[in-house]
Each structure stands twice: as structure tokens, then as C-alpha cells.
Amino acid sequence: MVSTHMSLQRPAAEEAAHSRRPASRRRWVRWAPAVLFLAPAVAILAVFRVLPFVYAGYYSLTEWDGIEPPTFVGVDNYARLLSDPVALEAIKNTGLLVLTLPLWIFLPMAIAILVHEGMWLGRAIRLALVIPILLSPAIIGLYFSLVLRLDGPVNELLGAIGLGGLATEWLAEPHTVMPAFLTIALWGALGLGTLFYGAGLASLDDELYEAAAIDGASTLQRVRHVTIPHLRPVAVFWSLFVLISFFTAMFPLLFTLTSGGPGHRSTTIDLYIYQAAFENFDFGYSAALGTSVLLLVAVLAVIQLRLIARGDEA
């Protein structure tokens, strides 16, 4: 016991030496393990995340076919973006998705609350909600491209209930393709959103509900004043996640569902980035589109966070 105590005591001579070490060296000794442990992860992130961004920024200022050394063209690609009707249509379509953000935030929240409150949804329906999470978006796209064909089950069902006049090529008609895509994308994301909100609700202290019950709160009041405020951090995270997905993660679903057609009526900006690079072999322009999206998402995310912060302050 005594010896242990003695070993924990810094000998006086060592203490004196320690105090003579420069402050910077002391800091380094303290931080070295953390730096060494983090270094591999940071290196991987730098190579596979940061460098591609840097390269994209550079190539966006060039004309490049992906093979020959790129030719510097300044901001020409960015100027072209502003007058390219396809890029503008892709931005418009992505903007339409952004406008539906409240639906993406509140629908899974409502389902999660209903499940939590035990008001609705048996196990089978809960399972049905989770299934899309397990499916690749490409598979979802292929599946719905069959379901929504003219001879597919949706139109057959419409015919069976006497609404055959509404049957159409949902994914080939300019006025139905975006609503159809939006519905499918939302269906695909609903389970994940519900899961996030469900996890948030699982951490809700039952005592809060008991206190509300003692105060005579109705179910609706309990949801409004206890459950929803508790879910606010999850909603902030989920909304940012969805917003970024609108700009970066629609590609696999759209590629198999519509390929951006008819015309470019369902082309989103991430699909157009792919098309510019790998179908039109215009890598410089594709990089300019990608860099612009990065900046746009950053700006939108900051605006969104500010709005939320203002709401917090209010």
C-alpha cells in the first residue's frame, strides 16, 4: 500500500526536470498518443474524401476528357452551368425535392410517435416500414419501374376498380414522373427516418410522461409538449441528412427508375453530374457541377442551421 502510494508520487527531482521542459514539448507529449491513434483515420479521410474535393475544384477550372492532360479554361464551366438548360432543369427538379422537405421530416416523425404511443401499427406494418432500408436504391428503382409500367400492377389495379382511365405510363409522362419519383424516394426513406425518431423516443424518460399525466395532460398535449420537443435534435439531424441526400444520393434510384427522362424531366443534379462525366465524357464540366453542388449544399445547410438556431432562441 505504501509502495503504491510512493510510486504515484512524482519524485522531487523528476518534478523539477518536468517543470524545466518547454511548454510546447509538454503539450506534444500529452497529445502524441491521440495524434498517433487518429493519424490512420485522418490519412484515409484525406486521401479518399478531402483530396477528391480538391481535385474536383481543380478540374472544374479545366476542359478535360479524362485522359489527356486537362486544359485550363478558368471559370468557363461555371459560366456554362448558368446557361445550360439541362443543368437548370436538374437544379429545378432538385429544388422541387427540397420543397418537400417538411414531408420528409414530419411523416416519419408522425409514424414514430404513433408507434411509440401504441396507437397504431402492428408488427407487420412496422416490418414493412423497415424493409426499404434493407433494399438497395437501385433494386427499388428496378422494382418500381416494373410496377409502374403501362401493363404493371398499379395500372391493372386501377382498371380493376373502374379507374382504368387513369392508367398511364407513370414514369414516361412528363407531368407524372416527378410525383411518382418523389413518392418512391419518400417510401424508400420512410423506414430509416422512423427508425431514427424511434431511437430518439426510446431515450425519452417515462417520468416526463408520468408528470404530464399527473398534470392532467391529454395524449395530444403530451405529444405536443413532451414528445415533439424531445425529438427536436433528431429532427435537426434527420433534416440535414435528407437535405444533403437530395443533392447527392438520388442517383442510384433515378438511374434505374427513369434514367432522368422523359427528356430531362426527372434529372436531378447528382444524376446530371454522372451523365456529364460518363455519358458525355465532359469531366471538367461535371467537376464544375459537383463543386457548385458542394457549395450550394453548404450554404443551404448553414441557412437551415441558422433557422433552427433562431427557433431555439425564440
Yes or no: say if 93 and 178 are a contact pair by the CB < 8 Å rule. yes
CA 302 to chain CA mean position, Å: 15
First to last CA, the chain: 58
Half-sphere exposure of 149 (CA within 13 A, CB side): 8
Rounded to a whole number of angstroms, the minimum distance from the CB of residue 313 to another protein is: 9
Rounded to a whole number of angstroms, the minimum distance from the CB of residue 138 to another protein is: 12
> Which of 63, 70, 117, 178: binder of another protein (CB under 8 A)?
70
Size of interface with another protein, in residues (CB under 8 A): 46
Half-sphere exposure of 135 (CA within 13 A, CB side): 22
Q: Does 170 interact with another protein (rule: CB under 8 A)?
A: yes
Q: How far apart are CA 246 and CA 101, in angstroms?
A: 9
DSSP states of 133-200 as a string? Answer: HHS-HHHHHHHHHHHTSTTSHHHHHHHHTT-GGG---TTTSTTTHHHHHHHHHHHHHHHHHHHHHHHH
Considering beta carbons, is residue 222 or 264 the nearer one to another protein? 264
Rounded to a whole number of angstroms, the minimum distance from the CB of residue 212 to another protein is: 23
> Which of 85, 102, 118, 162: binder of another protein (CB under 8 A)?
85
Considering beta carbons, is residue 247 or 285 the nearer one to another protein? 285
> Which of 171, 250, 269, 271: binder of another protein (CB under 8 A)?
171
Binding mask 236-265 for another protein (x = CB under 8 A): x---------------------xxxxxxxx
Q: How far apart are CA 132 and CA 135, in angstroms?
A: 5
Question: How many residues are present in the chain?
Answer: 314
> Which of 92, 116, 126, 149: binder of another protein (CB under 8 A)?
149
Rounded to a whole number of angstroms, the minimum distance from the CB of residue 260 to another protein is: 7
Cis omega (within 30 of 0) on the bond before 262? Answer: yes
Rounded to a whole number of angstroms, the minimum distance from the CB of residue 105 to another protein is: 17
| Residues in touch with another protein (CB under 8 A) | 50-51, 54-55, 57-59, 65-70, 80, 84-85, 145, 148-151, 169-174, 236, 258-265, 275, 278-282, 305, 308-309, 312
